[in-house]
Amino acid sequence: MKLRDRPEVDEGTPWVERETMVEASPEEVWEALTDEDRLEEWMAPEVDLDPTEGGEIAVRDGDDRRAGTVETVEEGERFAFTWSRPGEGESFVEFTIEALPGGSRVTVVETPTHSMATKTAAGSTAMAASGWGPRLARLNRAMRFAPVA
Amino acid sequence: MRAPAHRHVDGVFAALADPTRRRVVERLARGGTVTASGLAEQLPMTRQAVAKHLSALQGVELVSATRVGRETHYKLRPQPLDEAAHWIQMVSAEWDDRLEALRRSLEKRGSRSR
């Protein structure tokens, strides 16, 4: 069961998507993503995680603390949770694991959950939003060179 | 360093999700101040439509308004755009670092077991 579907995104959604290829099987990646001791090897010095849907996650790196709820657990394939810093907006974070010859691809997506209210027609994909980086860069450049009024 | 609060960034992205509104912003990005009527002459829109978009942009502080006699002059405020771009940059950089740490952690284990 999924507590919450992956958010539909449209052009109004700030969306970050990053990926990496690793020389490890999807099973090994899954363990590194969902075991709290393994998470402490790479995510943050202190991680508490109950890796079941509805379970809690707490991530601490010195003064930087985030806490949230596990949303999706699909063993070996998909792991998602929400997290937020105290007093700040909440983000949805989703990992997907894909088997490759000799390893795996790990993709992570982070998007503010406020944006999840912005539903769009079916078929909307991350691609629609991934143009944001360049678009903002263009706008910022345009403004930098704009004559001062 | 941390990303700015999402609340603000969300509003900016939502306001810019509308393609017409982005055209208004791009026009404002050329600099100076504009009035709703002045902008309406340059874009295929009525003055009322332009005024509505400007008001939405003002709501997320992307645009500032100054009353000059009977007219309102609008000007782009770049800061919210910087914050939105900053959110993307910060979160991207954070995940690049974490994924690199994940890759190292997995490969260290892999070489130990081989």
pLDDT tens across A83-139, in order?
Answer: 999 988 788 999 999 999 999 999 999 987 765 433 332 223 333 344 444 555 555
ipTM passes above 0.85: no
User: pTM of this prediction?
Assistant: 0.68
Instruction: Say if B79 is an interface residue toward chain A (CB within 8 Å).
Output: no
pLDDT of B2 reads: 44
pLDDT of B111 reads: 73
Which residues on A lie below 8 Å from B30 (Cβ)?
Answer: 142, 146
The answer to whether the CB of B27 falls within 8 A of the CB of B34 is yes
Phi, psi for A146 (deg, rounded to 5): -70, 140
More confident residue, B60 or A70: A70
Counting the structural domains of chain B, the total is 1
pLDDT bucket at A57, cuts 50 / 70 / 90: very high
Which residues on B lie below 8 Å from A22 (Cβ)?
Answer: 102-103, 106-107
Q: What is the CATH number of the domain that holds B10?
A: 1.10.10.10
Range(s) of the domain holding residue B48: 6-113
The answer to whether the CB of B11 falls within 8 A of the CB of B59 is yes
Nearest-angstrom CA–CA distance, B3 and B13: 15
Domains of chain A (ranges, CATH numbers):
16-144 (3.30.530.20)
A15, A17, A22: which to substitute to probe chain B, counting the most B Cβ within 10 Å?
A: A22
Query: What's the rounded mean pLDDT across residues B86-93?
Result: 86
